[in-house]
Structures are given as C-alpha cells and as structure tokens.
Copies of this chain bind each other. A is one copy, B any other.
Amino acid sequence: MRSAAVVGTGLIGTSIALALRGRGVATYLIDRDPEAARNAAGLGAGLVAVPPAPADLAILAVPPQHVASALREHQLRDLAHDFTDVASVKVRPQEEAAELGCDLSRYVGGHPMAGRERSGPLAAQSDLFQGKPWVITPGAGARRQAVDRVTELAELCGARPVVMSHAQHDRAVALISHTPHMVASLVAARLLHGDESQLQLAGQGLRDATRIAAGDAELWTDILGSNATAVADVLEEIALDLREVVDALRDLGAGAAAPERQRTSRAHLTTALARGVQGHGRIPVRTPGGMRLSGVAAGK
C-alpha cells in the first residue's frame, strides 16, 4: 500500500492515519469538519487534501449509519481503488450499500476492536490497534485485491486480522460489547433513584462495572440501533435469567417458603453466580505485546 485516503478524522480515523504514516504510506485526510482534519494533520497524520490520483485504499471512518452513503459518494468521485470502513456493526451498512448501488466488489468491511473513552483526533494514538483484533468481513462479491488491501491495513496498524461473516461479527459484538454496554447503562441509570447518603457508599467496584455506560449516548444509540435485533436477542436471554433470579430472591426474602424450596432457590442463585465467575474467566487477557491468554492461564 502506497497511498490511503482517510474519510473522517475522529479518534479511529486519525489513529489509522498516524499508524500508516509511521509505515511510510502517503495519507490524505478528509472530514466535513475542516478543524478536525487540520487537527489531525497537525499531529502528523497526513495532508488535508483529496489524493491527486485514486488512492490504493479509502478508509471510511464515519458512524455506522453514514458508511453506505459515504461509500457511494466516494466511489462516484473515484477516491480510491478499494474501500473499507471501521464501523462497529457490519450487516446493515453492507445491506444499505447494496441498496444504494455501490460497487461491492471494491468494498470490504472492517472493524478494529480498539477504542478509548475519549474521542476526536486529539485523542488519537498511532499504536491504538497494536495487538488488537481487527475483524474483516468480505462479502460474497468482494474482489481478492480488496480483501488483501484491508488485511494489509490491519497488519500495518499492528492489529491481528480476523475474518468473519457480517452476521457472525454482529452477533459477536452484540454479546461482548453492545449488550454489556446497554445493561451497564440500566444499572447506572438506577443510581439516579438513589439519594446522596446511598451514593456516598459507592466505590471503585461500581465505577469499574459501569464505566462503559459513560460512553456518548447519541453514538451508542446509532450503534445499538444498527445492531438492534442481535442485541435484543441477547438482552431477552438476560431478561429470562433475571426473572429466575428475582423469583429465587423472593423465595429467600419471604422466609415463608418451604425449606425444600428455599434450598432450591439458594442453589439456583449459587449456580447463576458460579456461571458468572466462569463466564468472566473466558474473557481473554491481552498482554501489552498483544499476546492473548485465557483468563485462567493468566492467573486472573
């Protein structure tokens, strides 16, 4: 890859541009907000300009619901030979791009699994993707060269390419990211019903458990709305589990339930908690160098 056009110079777009510049790729920065593009350029992320000839790859670093229209627009103006995006959902942008008549042979979706709590170009880091998974979701009609370009992009950024279908990706992020975010938001929102004397007892454990809920509400509405069915499916399973836990707690709280029923309710609670311990243990622990360990192997 010798040249790349980055459309959208927020946190992710600027971090990609910085990583590519570090590997000698000529980068061109495009943003509807001229100040965002200039800020990115000021960090050394590239030139605020349209490339003089089509770039090898265009990276559409725009919100999920704008991917298809940006693809259409920049394919029509021949911005690059091949195109990718970085959106955190994959099925709907692909469907929308098909509806808009985009050239799907030259588009391969991507999703680098990295982020920060801060947003915008000034939060960008060239090593943001180091050792992180970068999901690549080639459609049936994508040409080989487009897949290779996106794989090369991930590697140039120090990430680990992982190939999945659009639907596989969206189910995965519903489970490991979108659902946990929504549930953390509901737990955090309950705190608005607490009074000051209750809140003053809260500590670091609760802060950590609800930190993801601090993410921008508008951005997360777009993300969850774009992956609505997959997220709703997981949330409904959690709602069923929650119903059973509440029933068990009601038995234990009433104290009136028969001893046998109390035992069953206690056992149900212990099983639910033990499954939580096991599930937490399945989350991979990444070393700074990017090596992955299972929670158990890492002794956590």
* A positions within 8 Å CB-CB of B: 113-115, 132-133, 135, 162, 164, 168, 171-173, 175-177, 179-180, 182-194, 197-218, 220-221, 224-225, 228-229, 231-232, 234-239, 241-243, 245-246, 249-250, 252-254, 266, 269-270, 272-286, 292
CA gap between A172 and B198 in the complex, in Å: 5
Q: Is the CB of A190 within 8 A of B237?
A: yes
Contact of A283 among B199, B231, B283 (CB under 8 A): B199
CA gap between A198 and B284 in the complex, in Å: 11
Where chain A touches its partner, the secondary structure class is helix
Indicate how many identical chains form the complex. 2
If A186-B238, A213-B276, A277-B213 touch, whether A201 touches B113 (CB-CB below 8 Å) is yes
Q: Which residues of chain B are near A168, meaning CB under 8 Å? A: 197-198
Smallest Cβ distance from A201 to chain B, in angstroms? 5
Q: Is the CB of B232 within 8 A of A249?
A: yes
CA gap between A234 and B242 in the complex, in Å: 11
If A221-B270, A253-B232, A283-B199 touch, whether A212 touches B209 (CB-CB below 8 Å) is yes
Q: Is the CB of B207 within 8 A of A283?
A: yes
Q: Is the CB of A190 within 8 A of B238?
A: yes
Contact of A210 among B133, B203, B280 (CB under 8 A): B280
Q: Which residues of chain B are near A253, meaning CB under 8 Å? A: 228-229, 232
Smallest Cβ distance from A173 to chain B, in angstroms? 7
Q: Is the CB of B177 within 8 A of A214?
A: no
Q: Which residues of chain B are near A217, meaning CB under 8 Å? A: 270, 273-274, 276-277
